Amino acid sequence: MPDSAPERRIRMTVAYDGTPFHGWQVQPGQITIQSELQRAFLAITRMPIVVQGSGRTDAGVHALAQVAAFTTRSRIPIANLARAMNHLLPGAIRVTSVEEVPLAFHAQWDAKSKLYEYRIYRDEICSPFERPYVHHFPFPLDDEKVIDAAPVFEGEHDFSAFAAKDERYGPGYSQVRTIYASVARREGPRLIYRVRGSGFLKHMVRNLVGTLLEVGRGNMGKEDVRGLLQGAARSASGPTAPACGLFLVEVTY
């Protein structure tokens, strides 16, 4: 009987185009990445699961290598699982690898770092085939100021000024995070921002980008950004950059 089989912990790496989905987390009446993965596995095995991701990506955010894990008593061979899942998943979601891991593995709490990339398209005209995957910003901007200011975020800081409100952030919740690398560079028509950290608060990367854009527009300076890292209010930092330019690139364990 399936329910008498031993429990197995399965880790998946998942890539997705976040455009048609309402983010990662299951929401009533909405199509999400988590709900689609759970639906596909249920259709294959007739056994429900709860897929835990390394973190929640917002609606419209993309992933090159999100990590997710679940526990099941299904006997389906690992070699067949990715093929079967991809046969049932929408084309905007692909399971790129699957492996069996110890039962104690947790996709979120065991993660050591995450790498995000934000893509800003600087030319006046943006191809309609690229527009869903970049923030089109053809307006006056000093790219060199953005590049110069990006490393200010490196180190351990209080990122309260860059966190959206969330029900998880109750009294006493620490918004201190460690950023290992924060780098911007120009690649042709794209201004690319990459940030690797121990963890990220809700909308944090998009708010870092929005603040860097304010620096590039001349509305803020590097010292203003340093001041925000002392636990300033969210209203003191830049606006939230659009979700479409953001990619989860890598999760390390």
- The enclosing H or E element of 152 equals none
- Do 242 and 127 belong together in one domain? yes
**Measured distance CA(56)–CA(33) in Å, rounded:** 10
- Residue 234 is given by DSSP the state G
- Do 151 and 86 belong together in one domain? no
In this structure, what CATH number is given to the domain that contains residue 156?
A: 3.30.70.660
Number of domains present in the structure of the chain: 2
| Torsion region of 237: left, alpha or beta (phi above 0 gives left; psi -120 to 50 gives alpha) | beta
Q: What's this model's pTM, rounded to 2 decimal places?
A: 0.94
- Do 172 and 235 belong together in one domain? yes
- Do 95 and 215 belong together in one domain? no
**Is 106 domain-assigned?**
no
- Do 16 and 95 belong together in one domain? yes
- Do 67 and 142 belong together in one domain? no
- Do 92 and 196 belong together in one domain? no
In this structure, what CATH number is given to the domain that contains residue 13?
A: 3.30.70.580
Report yes or no: 238 and 212 within 8 Å, Cβ to Cβ: yes
Asked if 158 is an active-site residue, the reply is no
**pLDDT, one tens digit for every residue, the chain (253 residues):** 445 689 999 999 999 999 999 999 999 999 999 999 999 999 999 999 999 999 999 999 999 999 999 999 999 999 899 999 999 999 999 999 999 999 999 999 999 999 999 999 999 999 999 999 999 999 999 999 999 999 999 999 999 999 998 877 777 889 999 999 999 999 999 999 999 999 999 999 999 999 999 999 999 999 999 999 988 999 999 999 999 999 999 999 9
- Do 228 and 118 belong together in one domain? yes
Domain containing 117 equals: 113-252
- Do 10 and 74 belong together in one domain? yes
User: What pLDDT does residue 3 have?
Assistant: 54
Instruction: Exactly one of 3, 58, 110, 142 is catalytic; name it.
Output: 58
Q: Cβ-count burial of 209 within 10 angstroms (0-12 exposed, 13-18 middle, 19+ buried)? A: buried
- Do 150 and 184 belong together in one domain? yes
| H and E: helices and strands count for the chain | 5, 10
- Do 176 and 242 belong together in one domain? yes
